[in-house]
Chains A and B, each alone.
Chain A
Amino acid sequence: MHELSVTQSVVDAIVERMGDAEVAAVCLEIGKLSGVVPDSVRFCFEVVCAGTTLEGARLDILEPGGQARCRDCDGEFALPDLIPLCPCGSANVEITAGRQLRIRSVEVA
């Protein structure tokens, strides 16, 4: 359940950045290849927010899909899982999207 640590990091970072401002909503980006389960983060969010300036805040999660670029054929393709295989057959690929785990924005009450 690393999602609890991840959610704690989200709340800590927002409190650090926003000071005393009451936060009404949080928008996160959790890529499909990030290794973090959005539903688990939702489960932890309310608990971790309790007693902070984020208490009762809404949580929006964007889930960008995986993308990769092949170093052999230079093609770009969607990557549904962590098996880095280009349609051309090459495994020499660079994951360009889907691993991000970012706090996009917050909405101040």
Chain B
Amino acid sequence: MCATCGCSDDAGVRITEPGHGHGHGITVSLEQDVLAKNDRLAERNRDWLRRHEVVAVNVMSSPGAGKTTLLERTARESGLPVAVVEGDQETLLDAERIKATGVPVVQINTGAGCHLDATMLERALGTLGPAPGTVLFVENVGNLVCPALFDLGEDRRAVVLSVTEGQDKPLKYPHMFAAADLVLLNKVDLLPYLDFDPEVFLRDVRRINPAADVLRVSATRGTGLQDWYGWLRTSIASGERR
């Protein structure tokens, strides 16, 4: 039997096109993580952030969950020294909204890309040059799937889910919720109008990720935001890095 693919000479008839033959050449063992390069760059970002005394929070969610509104409000009201890296496929719309709050911001446009990676953050850090003591929010591309896989070098991961998306999302998108340090349940002011049970949501978050913190907020109304600012202050004070 072939050691590489398990095929066998008597496994049956094979039809082979010339030039695409299944030659039994020399097998070279590589044993390398596919994302090793991204993870190396992420460690470099983490080191850069540590040396520059910047705490970075990767903010992830579906499109429209309220990430930018949350960050606008945080920039204006938290009293924390904030800077933002915005990630979207196209447009400067989010960066313009953040810029209007008066805090430093750069926009990454990924084009066809569905997530940010460590190289993109490295370039954004070079352009933005956040001051020591800054809380740097990295607003990832709106997507509940791909961003969970790519370490950027951040210190904390916050996942925002709005109640309009439905309570079943932790079980449907477990990778994202498994990656979170904090889950923010947003738009709770709309709960009276929706069939969304926060207790079921909380139970399912716990099934996927027993260690994550969960906060209920409304970024437009301001509900629960003091808890979010408190969580940020605790994260900064702890000095723990991923």
A residues touching B (Cβ–Cβ < 8 Å)? Answer: 1-2, 5-6, 9-10, 12-14, 17-18, 24-25, 27-28, 35-36, 56, 58, 60, 81-85, 91-92, 100-109
B contact residues around A25 at 8 Å (CB): 4-5, 22, 25
Report if A58-B22 is in contact (Cβ < 8 Å); known contacts: A27-B5, A103-B31.
yes
CB of A56, distance to nearest CB on chain B (Å): 6
Task: Name B36's closest neighbour in chain A (CB-CB).
Answer: A13
Assess whether B28 is in contact with A18, with CB atoms less than 8 Å apart. Answer: yes
B30 touches A106 (CB 8 A): yes
A2 touches B32 (CB 8 A): no
Q: Tell me, in angstroms, the Cα distance from A5 to B141 when the chains sit together.
A: 15
Interface residues of B (CB under 8 A from A): 4-5, 19-20, 22-38, 113-115, 117, 145-146, 148-150, 171, 174-175, 178, 206-208, 210
Q: Which residue of B lies closest to A7 (CB)?
A: B34
- How close is B227's CB to chain A, nearest CB, in angstroms? 24
Q: Are B34 and A83 in contact (CB under 8 A)?
A: no
Within the complex, what minimum Cβ distance (angstroms) separates B35 from chain A?
A: 6
Give complex CA distance A2, B143 in Å: 11
Query: Is B207 a contact of A85 with CB atoms below 8 Å?
Result: yes
Whether B25 and A108, one on each chain, are in contact in the complex, defined by CB atoms closer than 8 angstroms, is: yes
CB-defined contacts of A104 to chain B, threshold 8 Å: 29-31
Query: 5 A-B residue contacts at CB 8 Å?
Result: A83-B208, A85-B207, A103-B34, A107-B25, A107-B27
Query: Are A101 and B33 neighbours in the complex by a CB distance under 8 Å?
Result: yes
Report chain B residues within 8 Å CB of A82: 174-175, 178, 208
Known: A24-B25, A82-B174, A85-B207. A101 touches B35 (CB 8 A): yes
Please classify the interface of chain B as helix (H, G, I), strand (E, B), loop, or mixed, using the class held by over half of its residues.
mixed
B145 contacts A101, C-beta separation under 8 Å: no
How many cross-chain pairs have Cβ atoms below 8 Å apart between A and B?
105
Residues in chain B near residue A100, CB distance under 8 A = 33
Are B145 and A2 in contact, with the CB atoms below 8 A?
yes
- Pairwise interchain contact B149-A13, C-beta atoms closer than 8 A: no
Alpha-carbon distance A85/B23, docked complex (angstroms): 45
Complex Cα–Cα for A100 and B175 (A)? 14
| Contact present for A60 and B5 (CB under 8 Å) | yes
Cα separation A36 to B145 with both chains bound (whole Å): 10
The 7 closest A-B pairs by CB, nearest first: A2-B146, A82-B174, A35-B175, A101-B34, A60-B5, A103-B30, A103-B32
Contact partner of A5 (CB less than 8 A), chosen from B5, B22, B31, B117, is: B117
Known: A108-B25, A109-B25. A14 touches B30 (CB 8 A): yes
Contact A6 B4 (CB under 8 A): no
A91: chain B residues within 8 A (beta carbon): 206-207, 210
